[in-house]
Chain A
Amino acid sequence: MIKKFFSRGYIFLVLAFIYIPIFILVIFSFNAGKTLNIWEGFSFKWYANLGVVGDVVLNTVVLAVVVAVTATILGTLGAIGMFYSNGKGGKLMKGISQIPVVNSEVVTACALIMLFLLLGLSNRSLVGLFLGHLIITTPFVVLSVLPKLKQMDPSLYEAALDLGASPRQALTKVILPEILPGVFAGFMLAITLSLDDYIVTATLSPLGFDTISTAVYKAIALTTEAASMKLPIYRALTTIIFLLTVSVVVVINVRSKRKQKREGGK
């Protein structure tokens, strides 16, 4: 009994440690005052002022979607290519492609800056930013697609060819539908990675171009008066993001539960 109490208590503590800061943030997003320590009354005013940071949200979302779509296409094709290339070349590629996953983002960012400077280009540009995000997200797509390819019955591709499909038809009609869950997971990973990336964005984005993470950092760092004015608005924004994420997770879980039940019932 006591043992149970302690094990439960421990889990509760861990969860509290993770979630209390978020709850504080959520609560204080409704604070009429600007600070995080003095409650000055309930208000929706920061939510009403969300339009002020609209451009930042738009920047972030557009960048993330463009990056995730590109990374998903590149990563999926890359994974298929690697999977079917035999011999030393294929193995080497699989290894190399995974280095950016473990590599620190700072290294990627610095390397890109040096590359751009070497080529005589500006180290802060939208193209550079896009490439930087692509480099950190694509390996994760590869990583989530490869296992699906390995799980697939290796004769499926040959079976499609055997039934008259061209290699391209075999890819689109058989292989892609088979690995689709992996592709989707890769896309979601890419979009989240791009959404909250700070280091690469901070080092490569053109001046005046902010995503949520860089803008929040600037606001916290109180670099300018204008930036710090926006800080409470970000509280409201992050609350919305948090609620959105939670609802997405809940929907996905409920749907998969239902699906399990349906299949189990058969």
Chain B
Amino acid sequence: MTKENLNENIIELVGVSREFEDGVFAVDNMDFKVKRGEFVTFLGPSGCGKTTTLRMIAGFDKPTSGKILLNGEDITVLPPNKRPINTVFQRYALFPHLNVYENIAFGLKLKRVKVTYQDKKGNTFEKVEKLKKGYISDKVEKALKMVDLEGFEKRSVSTLSGGQQQRVAIARALVNEPKILLLDEPLGALDLKMRKDMQLELKEMHKKLGITFIYVTHDQEEALTMSDTVVVMKDGVIQQIGTPTDIYNEPNNSFVADFIGDSNIFSGTMIAKNTVKFIGKNFDCVDDFPINEKVDVVVRPEDVVLMDEDKGQVNGKIISSIFKGMHYEMVMKVGKSEVVIQDTIERKVGEKVSIFINPSDIHVMEKEFSSNKFEGYITKNNTVVFGDGEFECDVTTLYPDSTLDEEGYIITKEGEKIDLTDVDVNVEVGLKDIEISDDAEAGGAIGNIISIIYKGDHYQLIVRTDENEEDYVFDTEDTWNENDRVSIIIPKEKIKLSLKQEIKR
């Protein structure tokens, strides 16, 4: 292999989408390249589109738009049997009516090669032939040796253990010398110890064979252990592509941070240059975002340093402590927030402590802001209190097809009578559903405009209340000035309510 060849992309996805019949995009406009010889892992929760991506590379599924290139050639519509790609299936998919040898030889027996012959007159001619029996059995033997299953040729696959079936499945795929090996959660059915062993073995095999491995898993540890490159996916969209170290240390967004390893994720606001406010305290940080921007702040539990009270940046109280073998996992409560901390020294529950976080361990990332979310409760007048204000709302939306009786109790579809007073609810208000007024009496909450950002055809404003510094974010076409004192108006029907938990009746 030449050096240029080494750098070439073996698989390229160009704007690939897969839309299902119900209009859901399993994979949404994906651009992605795999280098030759790479070990790439698609990682994500179930339903994130990782398996669909793999199936499109294998040829079992066709993209609804976009192209898939293999060595620069378009293979989008090439059937799976014509692709130099083999798959190890999630549940192995061994052929039950064939023994181990026949399973592994399945692909070789189907293969046809061109052989050049010379007749008596010295003319050469080509014949398409099956592979020689001896050649096939040599190959199968080598494959069995590679997966440590010598002597298993005659065994029926149903008599094998899960781990052994797994090895047969790998041998069956590799014996065909594919350009790419696809692995669809191949270790999912194995127990923990076997899984760890197989992880190392697969990595070893990858090194030895030098072919490209594309691996799909929802197990973040597996992905980090085995891969050269990890692709984190969510809802059919790539969230981040990077080496395992990059993905762990520099997650792109709160989803990646949450999915990879343990993390504390807080909602924060940029207060000043390189200063972010979260859990009610200002912290120095290295990331820079515009002032007043809403951000997500990610702190790994192992990066939180526990100190005696008043020694660190913020005080709190330990509310739980669990021994995890290597360390204690403790939860510290600060105001309403909880901080997960990992430390080798245990602090007892109830102990007052403080924490310190290095600026470089505070990962500030852009928040995908689509709506205002508050926590609130219902009053006895069936209004809702949240964000330092009280608003009119339609409580019947909490229960489908319910009605209100004259006394203000809710009557459910089933005819049950429920008192909603003091029930905790989640409140969601869209960016376009908030209006403001100079008249302090007109709305449900009062605050100052702290930020005005021009977004091309409208302004995005943030109004912050005085008492608990709650922020309302919304879009408007009107012009306002910073520090204007305004009241917040939200139409009754725009307040989306949902129960925090089912009420006991």
Kindly state the interface size class of chain A when it binds its partner: 20 to 34
Q: Which of A153, A163, A166 has the most CB of B within 10 A?
A: A163
User: B65 within 8 Å of A by Cβ?
Assistant: no
Which residues of chain A have C-beta atoms less than 8 A from B127's C-beta?
none
Q: Are the CB atoms of A162 and B110 closer together than 8 Å?
A: no
On whether the beta carbons of B91 and A155 are closer than 8 Å, the reply is yes
B59, B60, B86, B106: most-surrounded residue (chain A CB, <10 A):
B106
Q: Which residues of A contact B59 (CB under 8 A)?
A: 161
The reply to whether the CB of B95 lies closer than 8 angstroms to some CB of chain A is yes
Residues of B contacting A177 in the complex (Cβ-Cβ under 8 angstroms): 95, 97
Q: Are B110 and A159 in contact (CB under 8 A)?
A: no
Nearest CB on A from B146, distance (A): 17
* CA distance in complex: A164, B58 (Å): 12
- Asked whether any CB of chain B lies closer than 8 Å to the CB of A65, the reply is no
Considering only residues 76-114 of chain B, those with a C-beta below 8 Å from chain A are: 79-81, 85-87, 89-91, 93-97, 106-107, 110-111
A153 contact set on B, CB distance < 8 A: 91, 93
Let me know if B95 and A166 touch, CB within 8 A.
Answer: no
Given known A159-B89, A163-B86, A163-B106, contact A174–B79 (CB-CB < 8 A): no
Residues from chain B with a CB closer than 8 A to the CB of A167 are 79, 81
CA gap between A159 and B157 in the complex, in Å? 15
- Among B89, B93, B94, B110, contact of A169 (Cβ-Cβ < 8 Å): B110
B80 to chain A: closest residue by CB:
A161
In the bound complex, how far is the Cα of B89 from the Cα of A27, in angstroms?
61
Closest to A153 in B: B93
Cβ–Cβ contact B87 & A162, under 8 A: yes
Contact A161 B110, beta carbon cutoff 8 Å: no
**A173–B96 alpha-carbon span in the complex (Å):** 12
1/0 contact string of A159-181 vs chain B (CB within 8 Å): 11111111101000110011000
Min Cβ gap B449→A in Å is 54
A158, B107: Cβ atoms closer than 8 Å: no
Which B residues are in CB contact (< 8 Å) with A161? 59-60, 79-81
Asked if B93 contacts A156 (CB within 8 A), the reply is: yes
Instruction: For B85, list chain A residues within 8 Å (CB).
Output: 162
Q: Does A4 contact B (CB under 8 A)?
A: no
Name which residue of chain A comes closest to B98, CB basis.
Answer: A177
How many chain B residues touch A (CB < 8 A): the figure is 26
Indicate whether B176 reaches chain A with its CB closer than 8 angstroms.
yes
Contact call A159/B90, Cβ cutoff below 8 A:
no
**A155-B93, A174-B95, A178-B97 in contact; A164/B87 too (CB < 8 A)?**
no
Residues of the B chain whose Cβ atoms lie less than 8 Å from the Cβ of A173 = 106
Residue among B58, B86, B97, B159 with most chain A CB within 10 A:
B97
Instruction: Enumerate A204-241 residues with CB–CB distance to B below 8 Å.
Output: none
Instruction: Tell me which of A159, A165, A266 contacts B93 (CB under 8 A).
Output: A159
Cβ–Cβ < 8 Å partners of B159 in chain A: 266
Residues on A with C-beta less than 8 A from B90 are 155
A167, B59: Cα distance in complex, Å: 13
Query: From residue A54, how far is it (CB to closest CB) to chain B in Å?
Result: 41
Q: B62 contacts the other chain (Cβ, under 8 Å)?
A: no
Q: Is the CB of B95 within 8 A of A159?
A: yes
Asked whether A155 lies within 8 Å of B89 as measured between CB atoms, the reply is yes
| Residues in A whose Cβ lies below 8 Å from that of B87 | 158-159, 162
Indicate whether B172 reaches chain A with its CB closer than 8 angstroms. Answer: yes
Whether B79 lies near A158 (C-beta < 8 A) is no
Nearest first, the 10 A-B pairs at minimum CB distance are A163-B107, A155-B93, A159-B93, A177-B97, A161-B80, A164-B110, A155-B89, A162-B87, A161-B81, A164-B81
Can you list 29 A-B contacts (CB < 8 A)?
A155-B89, A155-B93, A156-B95, A158-B58, A158-B80, A158-B93, A159-B87, A159-B93, A159-B95, A160-B95, A161-B60, A161-B79, A162-B60, A162-B80, A162-B81, A162-B85, A163-B106, A163-B172, A163-B173, A163-B176, A164-B110, A165-B81, A165-B106, A165-B110, A167-B81, A173-B106, A174-B95, A177-B97, A266-B159
Apart from the given pairs A160-B106, A167-B81, 9 other A-B contacts in the complex at a CB distance below 8 Å: A87-B21, A156-B95, A158-B87, A159-B89, A161-B79, A161-B80, A163-B81, A163-B106, A164-B110
